[in-house]
Amino acid sequence: MIRNFFKRDSWSLGIILGIVVPLIMFGLLAAIEALFSTGSADHIFRLSTRIVISVFCNLLPFRHYMVKLKFDKTGRGILLDTFIFAIIFFIFFFSE
């Protein structure tokens, strides 16, 4: 049942995956930082680095859906989220 959910070509699935994958990766990076940091002021990753790595991880499902499965709508949904995240990132971190 879950396997069939991910084997469809729809914009909504792409948008959901494009939001969920970076959130999971951001949480994993925060957990790794909390696990390996020695003090409260010790940071392994800056916030901007965590965000870029999290958004970069959208390339994995994007490539899977566009190249391997040939699901264009799902891939476009993931790409849409990636562009939106990139625009928001540049607005907030490079607006001075």
CA–CA dist 12, 53 (Å, integer): 23
pLDDT number for residue 41? 67
What confidence score (pLDDT) does residue 1 get? 76
- Cα distance between residue 75 and residue 83, in whole Å: 12
In a domain, 1, yes or no: no
Share of the chain above pLDDT 70, in %: 96
Average pLDDT, integer, range 34-47:
79
Residue 33 lies in a domain: yes
Q: What is the pLDDT of residue 96?
A: 59
**pTM, two decimal places:** 0.88
Worst-scoring range by mean pLDDT, 8-12, 39-43, 44-48? 39-43
- Asked if residue 54 lies in contact with residue 29, where contact means CB atoms within 8 angstroms, the answer is yes
Q: Where in the sequence is the domain holding 46, given as residue range(s)? A: 10-93
Task: Look at residue 44 and tell me whether its pLDDT is greater than 90.
Answer: no
Mean pLDDT within 62-91? 95
**Total number of domains in the chain:** 1
Query: Residue 86: CB partners within 8 Å, gap ≥ 6?
Result: 55
Closest CA to 86 of 33, 60, 48: 48
Task: Tell me the C-alpha distance between 41 and 85, whole Å.
Answer: 27
